[in-house]
A and B are shown apart, each in its own frame.
Chain A
Amino acid sequence: MTRENDPNAARKTWMSLLAKSDAGVLSQIWDKADIAPDFRFLRAPEIGGVMVRGRAGAVGAAFNLGEMTVTRCSVTLSGGAVGHAYVQGRDKKKAEVAAQIDALMQTDLAAQVEAAVLAPLRKIAETAKRTRAAKAAATKVDFFTMVRGED
């Protein structure tokens, strides 16, 4: 399914962003945003593992590469919106905040959350990615052919 006709594309994008965010950075941005909705847990934060898979020869049969730590959490807001989080690492606060944000993004507060939390988070992720790519680009080899000795 392409992004254009995928009805879940927007939700996938914010959930993915939250999953990959740094726990400390997310916590800081969240506290600063000062949104803190009323919520209760459908599933309290729980730490577990996910088996990461690869493909033989990058294109062939799937195989198990090893696990990664993941924390999941589900919440429901007093208004009824349900939010889920599956986030990398073992930080329970991160999962709890991510689930709240996922729920809030389905409410009238979506624009506010987008501006105060997701946009700055996205900017940090993009900057980090760009910086790393620029360092890699600086190590790209420029080949040049030596002039041969004999005429």
Chain B
Amino acid sequence: MYVAVKGGEKAIDNAHAWLAEERRGGTSVTELSVAQIREQLALAVNRVMAEGSLFDPDLAALAIKQSRGDLIEAIFLIRAYRTTLPRFGGSEPVDTEKMACDRRVSATFKDAPGGQVLGPTFDYTHRLLDFKLAADGEAPQAPMTDAPPAETPHIMSFLDRENLIQNEPAGPEVPDDLTRAPLELPASRALRLQALTRGDEGFILGMAYSTQRGYARNHAFVAELRIGAVPVEMDIPELGFAVDIGEVTLTECETVNQFQGSKTEPPQFTRGYGLVFGMTERKAISMALVDRALRWKELGEDNVGAPAQDEEFVLYHADNIQATGFLEHIKLPHYVDFQSELELIRKLRREAQAMQEAAE
């Protein structure tokens, strides 16, 4: 039973005022601008865009400032804003083959056409704190090499040409959308991929790691990891043809996994896929591994009972906004609920005591 009580308005107002003051921090320190967050905390911005499910670096930076750097709170703000936007339509599926790659590496083919391009990566850094960053320094400049524009074909297309990789089945032109209809199981691959790409990075990482440690191991190689900008094209209803309406930075990970064969199919490799807003490579690799684990049924594999194979477990627990909403509500007043529990336990105590006395 819910009983309405009133009170606390003043306390709440003052708590919010104090929050604002604490957010600002010590006034002897310059205030952080949204542009500074967008430019200099770009990977936090990328995570908020990916899990907030809205590509808009300025808004994500604002959300990070407002949330004092609590990224899940920032994602919450972006999700809430997103629901206020009228939907103009859906884009054509982005063509990642045409990506202007900042980074493109393959763990399977050394001499891939287009080459191994490292990009602005943390890999090969020594993970030692750089105290020079604590002092104001000059803006560093990256070296440049003039390069003729070269094609960077997907590595998978080479395996595909030899028929060594499982075919990706086509699907409906307009995919199911879990922001428009409740997620029902079994979920199509389109829904699974949508849930994974906006899922919590830590959760997806943990699930992916569990497959590597042996819970539905699927022997993944990163056939290709690419990061860069792709144009987004949409049909304009007023015109009757499609134009680019913008450009987004994406991270794409394609894994090539253990072969399987059956009576009808020759042995072949299978694939897992990750595609995430922004430069978010840990998330994209994790997504590909979990995507692959969830495909056990369609690929005719055994369900070994591993958590990463359980789509209900993975998809219903990947969303950090749903999770945090339910988790954090238990700190809100449950006075009446708890009063009834308290009454009950007192009554049970009295009865137990009475029985004990009667027995003596």
Interface residues of A (CB under 8 A from B): 8, 11-12, 15-16, 19-20, 46-70, 72, 74, 84, 86-90, 129, 131-141, 143
Contact pick for A62, options B102, B144, B190, CB 8 Å: B190
> A48-B86, A62-B190, A89-B56 are known contacts. Are A53 and B171 too (CB-CB below 8 A)?
no
Q: How far is A87 from B245 in the complex, measured between Cα atoms in Å?
A: 5
Q: List 9 A-B contacts (CB under 8 A).
A: A19-B245, A52-B248, A64-B175, A65-B250, A70-B245, A87-B245, A88-B245, A139-B103, A140-B117
Give B121-152 as 1s and 0s: 1 = Cβ < 8 Å from A's Cβ atoms. Answer: 00000000000000000000011111101000
Contact pick for A69, options B59, B92, B111, B198, CB 8 Å: B59
Of A46, A55, A134, the most chain B CB neighbours within 10 A belong to A55
Give B239-275 as 1s and 0s: 1 = Cβ < 8 Å from A's Cβ atoms. Answer: 1011111111010101000000000000000010101
Size range of the interface on B?
Answer: 35 or more
Contacts of A68 in B (CB 8 A): 54-56, 232, 245-246, 248
Interface residues of B (CB under 8 A from A): 49-50, 53-56, 58-59, 82, 85-94, 96-97, 100-103, 110-111, 115-120, 142-147, 149, 154, 156, 168-179, 188-191, 193-194, 197-198, 228, 231-232, 234, 236, 238-239, 241-248, 250, 252, 254, 271, 273, 275, 277
Contact pick for B194, options A46, A63, A132, A136, CB 8 Å: A63
User: Contact at B231–A20, with CB atoms within 8 Å?
Assistant: yes
Q: How far is A57 from B168 in the complex, measured between Cα atoms in Å?
A: 7
Q: How far is A54 from B146 in the complex, measured between Cα atoms in Å?
A: 31
Contact pick for B245, options A50, A132, A137, A139, CB 8 Å: A50
Q: How far is A133 from B86 in the complex, measured between Cα atoms in Å?
A: 35
Q: How far is A102 from B178 in the complex, measured between Cα atoms in Å?
A: 35
> A53-B90, A74-B238 are known contacts. Are A69 and B55 too (CB-CB below 8 A)?
yes
Contacts of A69 in B (CB 8 A): 54-56, 59, 85
Nearest A-chain residue to B171, judged by Cβ: A61
> A20-B246, A74-B238, A87-B245 are known contacts. Are A64 and B168 too (CB-CB below 8 A)?
no
Q: How far is A123 from B5 in the complex, measured between Cα atoms in Å?
A: 63
Contacts of B238 in A (CB 8 A): 74, 84
Contacts of B85 in A (CB 8 A): 47-49, 67, 69
Q: How far is A70 from B88 in the complex, measured between Cα atoms in Å?
A: 8
Give the 10 A-B residue pairs with the shortest CB-CB distance, closest first.
A61-B171, A60-B168, A88-B246, A16-B244, A137-B147, A134-B144, A63-B190, A49-B85, A68-B55, A57-B168
Q: Min CB distance, B105 to chain A, in Å?
A: 8
User: Contact at A133–B149, with CB atoms within 8 Å?
Assistant: yes
Q: How far is A151 from B6 in the complex, measured between Cα atoms in Å?
A: 88
Q: How far is A72 from B88 in the complex, measured between Cα atoms in Å?
A: 9
Contact pick for A65, options B142, B146, B197, B242, CB 8 Å: B197
User: Contact at B87–A135, with CB atoms within 8 Å?
Assistant: no
User: Contact at B87–A51, with CB atoms within 8 Å?
Assistant: yes
Contact pick for A132, options B102, B111, B189, B239, CB 8 Å: B102
User: Contact at B170–A61, with CB atoms within 8 Å?
Assistant: yes
Contacts of B154 in A (CB 8 A): 58-59
Contact pick for B93, options A16, A62, A90, A140, CB 8 Å: A62
User: Contact at B87–A67, with CB atoms within 8 Å?
Assistant: yes
Nearest B-chain residue to A50, judged by Cβ: B88
> A60-B170, A137-B146, A138-B142 are known contacts. Are A65 and B277 too (CB-CB below 8 A)?
yes
Q: Min CB distance, B38 to chain A, in Å?
A: 12
Contact pick for A66, options B87, B142, B146, B198, CB 8 Å: B198
> A60-B170, A134-B144 are known contacts. Are A143 and B110 too (CB-CB below 8 A)?
yes
Q: Min CB distance, B321 to chain A, in Å?
A: 13
Contacts of A49 in B (CB 8 A): 54, 82, 85-88
User: Contact at A57–B236, with CB atoms within 8 Å?
Assistant: no
> A49-B85, A63-B189 are known contacts. Are A135 and B143 too (CB-CB below 8 A)?
yes
User: Contact at B146–A134, with CB atoms within 8 Å?
Assistant: yes
Contacts of B103 in A (CB 8 A): 136, 139
Q: Min CB distance, A65 to chain B, in Å?
A: 6
User: Contact at B169–A60, with CB atoms within 8 Å?
Assistant: yes
> A51-B177, A67-B87, A69-B85 are known contacts. Are A61 and B169 too (CB-CB below 8 A)?
yes
Q: Min CB distance, B214 to chain A, in Å?
A: 25
Contact pick for A53, options B92, B111, B170, B254, CB 8 Å: B92
User: Contact at B231–A61, with CB atoms within 8 Å?
Assistant: no
Q: Min CB distance, B19 to chain A, in Å?
A: 26
User: Contact at B243–A15, with CB atoms within 8 Å?
Assistant: yes
